[in-house]
Amino acid sequence: MRMWDPRIEEMPAEDLRRLQYRLLKTLVYRLYSFSPFYHDRMKATGVHPDDICCLEDVRKLPFMKKIDLRDNYPDRLFVAQQEDLVRYHVSSGTTGKPTVVGYTGTDLDNWTASLARALTSCGLGRGDVIQVSYGYGLFTGGLGLHYGAEKIGATVLPTSVGNTERQIELMQDLKSTAIACTPSYLLHMGEVAEKMGINIGKDTHMRTAILGAEPWTEGMRDRIQSWLGIRAYDIYGTSELSGPMFCECTEQAGIHIWGDLALVEILDPETGDPVAEGEKGELVITMLQKEAMPMIRYRIGDITSIDESVCACGRTHPRIRRITGRVDDMLIIRGINVFPSQIEYALMGIPEVGQHFQIVVDRKGALDDMLVKVEVSRGAFSDKITDLIQLRKKVEHKLRNTLNVGVNVELVEPGSLPRFEGKSKKVIDRRVM
């Protein structure tokens, strides 16, 4: 099947814009009436739903940022009542509090439909065996892809992450034709398979990879495609949008953002003004149909550019190019978002270490490895090595609990880490993409 929902996917651009305007107008009226948060925001900005008279008027609406999700933890941004929610997912916040997202049944249907279109657009469907090697659980990747893959009639192999050798055995035995995971995990699998004497390209049925949840490059795509013999597609999304939602089609020429679900703006991060089509800027997304937790002009923090032209595949929806960076200092470690501010917050609760720290990110094989250097407080250290090892374990444990990703800790002498020198000194990223 070439398209999951041709009526929507091939909708003429003008009709799509009209649909977007209608959805936006309805959304704004609904939120102004039913969401105290958006009502107050719009009042403070001096905008009324009646001021939204065309699609471009979206620019009159106030922005939303990650900090709004934190400040309204856990559920004050929800417009739906708890009994109307059918699921929660949780992701990392910028400090101690995580970000909670809720879904109504319709939200899940839209999310799944978005992925059904996306997976169909990269050539998957009935007959495929899709191995979902994203984490299942609070993270959106596993369950999101799971239901999207089931929707298109593919057979799902829900392996989740980890136990790589077993994953490779199952890939062979059950003849997986596609895999959804982070690009670094796929490279790691390739290395493990090689050690097992298996060439994924030759010895398995694998031919398609849906890769996302972390930044990657054309260089990594080339490596995956030539080394593993798998066509690799970029998938995009965040939990605030629902989860992974949008993907490249077989043309591999940008990620189709379904216009009936999301309205995309690319803005100058400094001024907030739109940049010219094709120029790089900050991605801002308005979710047009979300019920439980609407997102208006959400500043995700990713840098990309947009292409509004009709794709060679025939789909009319705008495409964004590969994410090339962040406007803030967020890191993505093995698919998990990590903010340096979370580390600062966690360290504040441990008096034996100072609040100064340095993050060194590197690749061990194909996988991300994060080291956090912390200073031992003057006088708070012990002359016993066992106590110091205990302290290091305590810090590692605290950071793992806060960040949801494993971290190595190195204890360093007080005063030895750089101070007040900004992100470049606080985060050393040695990963080569």
Partner 1 sequence: MDMKPFIIKQISVFSENRPGRLAAIARALEEDGINILAFSIAEADGFGVVRALVDNPDKAYRKLTGGGFSVNFTDVIAAKMRDQPGGLYEIARILGDGGVNIEYAYAYSGKEGAVLILRVDRVDSAIELLLKHGGELLKTSIFH
The smaller minimum CB distance to partner 1, of residues 3 and 412, is found at 412
Q: Which positions from 140 through 169 interact with partner 1, judged by CB under 8 A? A: none
Q: Is 45 among the residues that bind partner 1 (CB under 8 A)? A: no
Contact track, partner 1, 332-371, x by CB under 8 A? ----------------------------------------
On whether the CB atoms of residues 122 and 147 are closer than 8 A, the answer is no
Compare residues 60 and 400 and give the one whose CB is closer to partner 1. Answer: 400
| Interface pattern 229-248 for partner 1 (x via CB under 8 A) | --------------------
Task: At 333, give phi and psi (nearest 5°).
Answer: -115, 115
Give the C-alpha separation, 143 to 155, whole Å: 14
Least separation, in Å, of the C-beta of 392 and partner 1? 8
Q: Which is nearer to partner 1, 350 or 411 (CB)?
A: 411
Smallest separation (angstroms) from partner 1 to the CB of 358: 13
Using a 10 angstrom Cβ sphere, with 0-12 exposed, 13-18 middle and 19 or more buried, the burial of residue 82 is exposed
Residue 25 burial (10 A CB sphere; 0-12, 13-18, 19+): middle
385-403 vs 340-348: helix crossing angle, rounded to 10: 130
Could you say which residues in the range 365-394 bind partner 1, by CB under 8 A? 376-379, 381-385, 388-389
The three-class DSSP label of residue 113 is: helix
CB of 396 to partner 1, least distance (A): 12
If binding is defined by CB under 8 A, does position 3 make contact with partner 1?
A: no
Question: In the structure encoding, which two tokens stand for residue 330, read together?
Answer: 């967020």
Is residue 415 at the binding interface for partner 1, with CB under 8 A as the rule? yes
Do β-strands 298-304 and 281-287 pair in parallel, antiparallel, or remain unpaired? antiparallel
- Please report whether residue 55 would count as binding partner 1 according to CB under 8 A: no
- Please choose, from the candidates 224, 242, 1, the residue with its C-alpha nearest in 3D space to the C-alpha of residue 145: 242
Q: Residue 243's beta-bridge partner residues?
A: 238
Binding residue for partner 1 (CB under 8 A) from 53, 324, 410, 433? 410
Report residue 95 as tokens. 């400090």
Q: How far is the CB of 413 from partner 1 (least distance, A)?
A: 5
When the beta carbons of 51 and 413 are compared against partner 1, the nearer one is 413
Tally Cβ neighbours within 10 Å of residue 389.
11
Q: Which stretch binds partner 1 (CB under 8 A): 233-241, 292-300, 406-414, 419-427?
A: 406-414
Nearer to partner 1, 48 or 378 (CB): 378
323-358 CB burial, b ≥16 within 10 A, e <16: beebebbbbbbbbbbbbbebbebbbeebebbbebbb
The residue (of 288 and 409) whose beta carbon lies closer to partner 1 is: 409
Using the minimum distance from each CB to partner 1, give the nearer residue, 379 or 422: 379
Report, in Å, the least distance between residue 412 CB and partner 1: 5
Q: How far is the CB of 372 from partner 1 (least distance, A)?
A: 12
Q: How far is the CB of 294 from partner 1 (least distance, A)?
A: 48
Q: How far is the CB of 317 from partner 1 (least distance, A)?
A: 51
Distance in angstroms (rounded) separating the CA atoms of residues 100 and 93? 9
| Residue matched to tokens 């010895």 | 203
SS3 for 180?
strand
Q: Near partner 1 by CB under 8 A, which window of 122-130, 188-196, 303-311, 414-422?
A: 414-422
CB of 353 to partner 1, least distance (A): 11
Instruction: Using the minimum distance from each CB to partner 1, give the nearer residue, 270 or 383.
Output: 383
**Size of residue set near partner 1 by CB under 8 A:** 18
CB of 420 to partner 1, least distance (A): 17
Burial 206-219 (b: 16+ CB within 10 A, else e): bbbbbbbbbbbeee
* Minimum CB distance to partner 1, residue 191 (Å): 25
Site for partner 1 contains 411 (CB under 8 A): yes
Measure the CA–CA gap between 286 and 231, rounded to whole angstroms: 31
What ranges make up the beta strands (E) of 5-94? Answer: 85-91
Q: Strand 427-429 relative to strand 243-247: parallel, antiparallel, unpaired?
A: unpaired
Determine which residue in the list 33, 217, 324, 416 makes contact with partner 1, applying CB under 8 A: 416
Residues of this chain that bind partner 1 (CB under 8 A): 376-379, 381-385, 388-389, 410-416
